[in-house]
Amino acid sequence: MKRIVVIGHGGYAEGVKQNLEMIIGESEHMYFVDLTKEDDLASLENKISHLLESFNEDEVLFTCDLLGASPFRVAAMQCMSHPEKYYAVTGLNTMGFIELSMGKDLPMEELINRAIEATKDSIKKFPE
């Protein structure tokens, strides 16, 4: 089974959750963790570790708001500890998250690539 963990600053993860629920409904394989002002890096690491304990041997994709920031660093450390099982991606938009929520039966690499391409393809300027 694949698990998607959305991590971000402030209410980012909760905002993504609410956005997706309005558009496509609840995704049972997606989880949302926010880094709050009260959290330090250790408390974020604890939140993520506690969540991961319930996943058993499942593949995990972390989607983070910003490359190099604390949520990404926590995800990257998990990825380094679980190569070829845990992955991380940053900068997805709603179209990318929709791809992730609807493609749970795809191989992880294909799912990640589709989410990235959906994000790229949805960036447009109006009027063109």
CATH fold for domain 2-120: Rossmann fold (3.40.50)
| Nearest-angstrom CA–CA distance, 17 and 38 | 21
Confidence class of residue 1 from pLDDT cuts 50, 70 and 90? confident
pTM: 0.94
Share of the chain above pLDDT 90, in %: 93
Residue ranges of domains in the chain:
2-120
Please determine, for residue 128, whether its predicted confidence score (pLDDT) is greater than 90.
no
Estimate to the nearest angstrom the gap between the alpha carbon of 81 and the chain centroid.
18
The tens digit of pLDDT for each residue in 68-121 reads: 999 999 999 999 999 999 999 999 999 999 999 998 899 999 999 999 999 999
Reduce the secondary structure of 17-78 to three states and give it as a string: HHHHHHHCCCCCCEEEEEECCCCCHHHHHHHHHHHHHCCCCCEEEEEECCCCCHHHHHHHHH
Share of the chain above pLDDT 70, in %: 100
- Say which residue, 1 or 122, is predicted with more confidence: 122
